[in-house]
């Protein structure tokens, strides 16, 4: 299998960083489920139940980044990490940084939309 390479606006993290994003997604899923169970057991108000959005956002941000092989924080910062954890490199070209920022915004938007839809589904289940 070929090694992952930095591709502006398309891929800015390597295998270990992808695994970290998957872990964040799983941790967010665990928090989302536990928040849902807690909200259901205490019969929380609709306003209080909106708090489930935050762990859902964590879930979808982690999974969307891992699937995209792209870290939105690195995209906004103009950096990338394809190698070992902690070996962050700067993106040299302004055009490449702009492409990375655009992709980061798309990932943030997708994650927000998915979290909002899932929050709506949770509210339907709770009420």
Q: What residue ranges do the domains of the chain occupy?
A: 15-122
Q: What is the pTM of this model?
A: 0.92
pLDDT per position as a tens digit, 86-121? 899 999 999 999 999 999 999 999 999 999 999 999
pLDDT per position as a tens digit, 17-46? 999 999 999 999 999 999 999 999 999 999
Long-range CB contacts (within 8 A, 24+) of 67-71: 68/11, 68/103, 68/107, 69/4, 69/10, 69/11, 69/12, 69/13, 69/18, 70/10, 70/11, 70/12, 70/13, 70/100, 70/103, 70/104, 70/107, 71/12, 71/13, 71/17, 71/21
């Amino acid at each position: 299998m070929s090694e992952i390479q930095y591709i502006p606006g398309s891929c800015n993290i390597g295998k270990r960083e992808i695994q970290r994003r998957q872990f964040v997604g799983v941790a967010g899923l665990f928090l989302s489920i536990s928040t849902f169970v807690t909200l259901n057991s205490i019969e929380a108000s609709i306003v209080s139940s909106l708090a489930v959005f935050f762990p859902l956002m964590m879930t979808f941000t982690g999974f969307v980044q891992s699937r995209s092989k792209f870290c939105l924080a690195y995209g906004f910062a103009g950096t990338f990490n394809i190698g070992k954890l902690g070996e962050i490199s700067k993106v040299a070209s302004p055009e490449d940084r702009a492409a990375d920022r655009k992709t980061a915004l798309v990932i943030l938007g997708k994650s927000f939309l998915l979290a909002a839809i899932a929050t709506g589904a949770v509210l339907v289940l709770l009420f």
